[in-house]
Structure formats: C-alpha cells, structure tokens
Structure 1
Amino acid sequence: MHVSSTTSTSTSRPHLPTRSMGIAVVCLPADTPAAALAAKATATLAARGLSSSGVLPHFHTHTRRTGKLVDRWNGLTAGGPIKLLDLDGMRTRAAAGAAAEWLLWQQVVARLRPAQPFWSFLDRHRADEHRYPLPRAQADYLAQPQILAMTAHNAIPGQPCPLPTRHLEAFQAGYGTYVNLAWLAAVPGDGLAPEHGGWLTARSQRLFDALDYLGIANGHLAQLPPGAHLVAVASPA
C-alpha cells in the first residue's frame, strides 16, 4: 500500500468530511534510546516525504517507568516500547465507545433513508466537472436527511457525544462493522511507518480502503517484538 493523495473538500461549511492533520504511528527498533525517539520518529517520516508537527499523546500506559516513554500526560504517552503500552486496553475502550456511539446514531437517524458518503458525490463531480460542479456536489451531500439529522445533533452546544459525518459509511455498515473498525483504528491511527521502510495508509476515504489499511497495519503491529518502540506523531496521514 502506498501514500495516496486525497483531494481536500474543505470549505467554509463545517460538516464536509476532510483529511487534515492526523496521527501517524512510527515503528522504531528496540535499541533506539528513549531520548532520541521523538527526533527519530520525525526523521523517519521526513525520509518518507511526510511532514510532521511534533509528537502526540496517543498511547495508554500504566507504567511508572516514565524515563522509557516519550512524555506522559494523565496516563497517555506519545510513545515507548510496546511492552509498556496498553494497546489491548486502547482497543477495548475504543470498541466500547463505538458501540455506544452507534446505538446513539441509530436513534438519531431512525426511519430516515440511507445516505451516500461524500466520496460518491465527489466521484460524480470529477466525472463531469462542468455539468456537476463541486458546490452542487457539496450541497447535495449536505441536504441528505441523515446528514441533516447528524448535523443538527452535533450543533447542540456542549454536545457530549457528537456523531462525525465522515463516519457515515461505517455507521451504515452496521453495529458489528462500526465496533470492529474502532478496535482496528485504535492503535495505528491514520498512517503507519514500518521499521524497515514504506508507508501504510488508506488509499481513499472509502470504508473498504480504510479496512484494507487497518487490517495490514494491525497485522504488522502484531508481529513486532515487545521491545520495539511505537511513537505517535502529528502528520497529514
């Protein structure tokens, strides 16, 4: 799987799906000094032609051995050896949160007809830009009853559980798929840099491509030794 560019859909309207700064996870060998992890992770992304803007508190950890971690904030760390990271706990919590989120989504969009993800409108625009301009594609996407219902839900001030419209396709794929997707996405984030070169990320915003990436990324993580390091970096992954 290779890096693929994604056309930005960002406009002044806040509820169109976008690809912006995300979480890139960098795999580093066990003999990397803890003090060098952040710099090494940034350099690894740069060598793959990817920019970054510092490490992120992404991984859960219960260890008190903070000297082996890249910073630490309230039980979160930007990285360290796998054996000191609570990856199983991250996946379990992500799946539990997704279960509650999907049940709420089902209530919000109850009895509304299924909606099309934004990429389907973008494909129509790209096929004939003159007859189907981008503003019309954006308007048609936003006018769908399910999108309107989710947008109205999210617009409530202080909403404790917003429903990301970019998750539309995954929501509609069903409870099991949504929960499994959250489990798979909890650790690798938006992109994974393997220790021995290469770059893994989804080819597009399509659900199939996301699942393809996450399956490969989690398979790679499962093969790493406990002493290998993972570092989370902010990157346009």
Structure 2
Amino acid sequence: MAAIPNPNPGNATNANNGNAATAVAATIRTMVVCVADELPSEALSSRQLDRHLGVHGSLQARFWAKGTLHLWQRRSMIDLRKGRPAYCAGGPARLLDLTGMRHAAGMGAGIRHQWWQRAVHGTKPANPWPVYEARHLADPAKYPLDKASADFWNQPRVNAMRMHNALYSGAPLALAELEMYQAGQMAYQHYSASTAIVGDALLTLDGNQLAPASDTMAHRVTFLEQANRYLGTLDDAQRLVAVTL
C-alpha cells in the first residue's frame, strides 16, 4: 500500500523539486508469479528469480500448504516450513490451502475492523493519502509535499488511528488501508481475503503483469478482480510462487 511520508513536516522533502508531475504509481511489495511447467522447482531460489522469472526479489513464505500433504508431495513445494499451518513460498495450486488463507484473512480483517470502528468513533471520514499525493504531484510548486503530508496527518480520524497504534502496537491499524476501512466491514474483509492470495501484483504465464494503476481503492479493487479472475482460469496443477520485491 501507499508509502505515507513521516508525520513530522520537517522530514518531508519535495521529490519533484517543482518539476512536472509524474503518475502516482501503486506500491508493489509482494508479487505472485505463475511458474511455467518447464521450469524445475530447483531453479526457484531467491538467487535465481531474476534469471528465471525476470523478477528482482526474494521468496516469501506467504502461502499455506494443505495439511494433508503426503511425503512425496512435499518435494513439489517451494521453501516449505514446519508448523500448522505450514507456510511456504509456493507450489502447485492444488497443494496450497488457498481457501483457508482467504477465510483466515477475512476473519482477521473483521476483527481489525471492529477495533478500527471503536478507535475512530466520533470522527469524520478522512481523505486517504493518495488524494493528497495526487494533488501534490499535479502542482508541486503550489502544493508542496510537506503541506500535503501535514494535511493528511492533521485529520482527526488519522490521529485516532495513530493513538490506537500507540497503545496497541501488537495490533496496529494500517493507515495505508484507511480507504478500505472506511468502505465498511464486509468490503474490508473481502479486500483482505482477496489480497491474501494475489498480493500486490500478479505475473501471468505469458509474462503479463497485473497490478493496480495506483494505490487508490478503486484501482486496487480493479486489480483484485482481474487477478482473482485469472487465477480462476488456471489448472489446479499450476505452480504459484510469492516474491517479496
């Protein structure tokens, strides 16, 4: 999600130095890659991702392996860890507990949204950071980054979330997900469940990268629709691998 500047205006800098605005790119931290059949599992190591997949990053133990794995099936998994659930960086879709991941992510999101509702009770809806970022990039000279940052951080709802995070650091409310929280509990649960499977971007078998056009909720939802629809067309033998960029 969006990289929000430090709340201290003195630490904010204008990256554009008054030059023409550039597009507000989406924040991509995790990519799910559809791996071609001909690529051996042995080639899927963090040191060879760039060579074989064209991706600069490292393996991420994001997926859950099914609890019914046989010993011989474990050889098909990528970076399989111990535990229940057993995390892994990927493997054939039929051996990944994608349904369990969606369910757990949705349940966790429901609990977080209840905390969020209590934390921001009585505050007005706030503008998410991409609104201020886009305004800054449209005219950096008239609306510098430190002003955009201050306007975002000075919103009562944003500060209510910060107060929650200050007291409950073990269960933080992500400020980058402000727009998703404000869409309602069910919307936030669906967003979290979908994101658990496809991450921030998806690399298809033909090398096409599906990714949101920006960090706004509308663009994130469009990406999730496209990515989940694409995954639904794949054979259950298709290998998926998660990469941290």
TM-score surpassing 0.5? yes
Structure 1 residues 44 and 178, CA, compared in 2 at 3 Å: closer, same or farther?
farther
Q: Deviations over 1:200-237 (max 9, x none)?
A: 111101000000001100011111111110011111xx
In structure 2, which of residues 67, 80, 84 is the aligned counterpart of residue 72 of structure 1? 80
**For this pair of structures, how many residues does the alignment match?**
223
In the alignment, the residues of structure 2 paired with residue 214 and residue 194 of structure 1 have an alpha-carbon distance, to the nearest angstrom, of 14
User: What fraction of aligned residue pairs are identical, expressed as a percent?
Assistant: 32
- SS in structure 1 opposite 2:30? strand
Consecutive unaligned residues of structure 1, counting only runs of 5 or more, are: 1-5
User: Are 1:232 and 2:242 matched, yes or no?
Assistant: yes
1:124 deviation in Å? 2.0
Cα shift at 1:19: 6.7
From 81, 96, 104, the equivalent of 1:93 is: 104
- State the match for 1:55 in structure 2: 59
Counterparts in 2 of 1:126 and 1:34: CA distance versus 1, 3 Å? closer
Structure 1 window deviating more from structure 2 (20-29 vs 114-123): it is 20-29
Asked if 1 retains the 8 angstrom alpha-carbon contact of 2:26 and 2:212, the reply is: no
Aligned position for 2:132:
121
1:23 is the counterpart of 2:27: no
* Distance 1:82-1:186 versus aligned 2 partners, 3 A rule: same
1:206 to 216, 219, 244: 216
Highest CA radius of gyration, 1 or 2?
Answer: 2
- Where does structure 2 lack aligned partners over 5 or more consecutive residues? 13-24
User: What is the RMSD computed on CA atoms of the aligned residues?
Assistant: 2.5
Offset of residue 133 of structure 1 = 1.1
Per the normalisation by structure 2, the TM-score is 0.83
Q: 1:124 to 1:21 in 2, by over 3 A?
A: closer
SS, match of residue 146 in structure 1? helix
**CA distances 1:108-144 after superposition (whole Å, capped 9, x unpaired):** 0001011001111122222332222110110110010
Secondary structure class of the residue paired with 2:45: helix
C-alpha distance in structure 2 between counterparts of 1:12 and 1:169, whole Å:
18
The alpha-carbon distance between structure 1 residues 19 and 196, as it changes in their structure 2 partners (threshold 3 A), is: closer
TM-score by length of 1: 0.85
Q: Secondary structure at 1:187's aligned position in 2?
A: helix
Q: Which residue of 2 aligns with 1:193?
A: 203
The answer as to whether partners of 1:30 and 1:81 remain within 8 angstroms in 2 is no
- Label 1:155 to 1:22 Cα distance change in 2 as closer, same or farther (>3 A): same
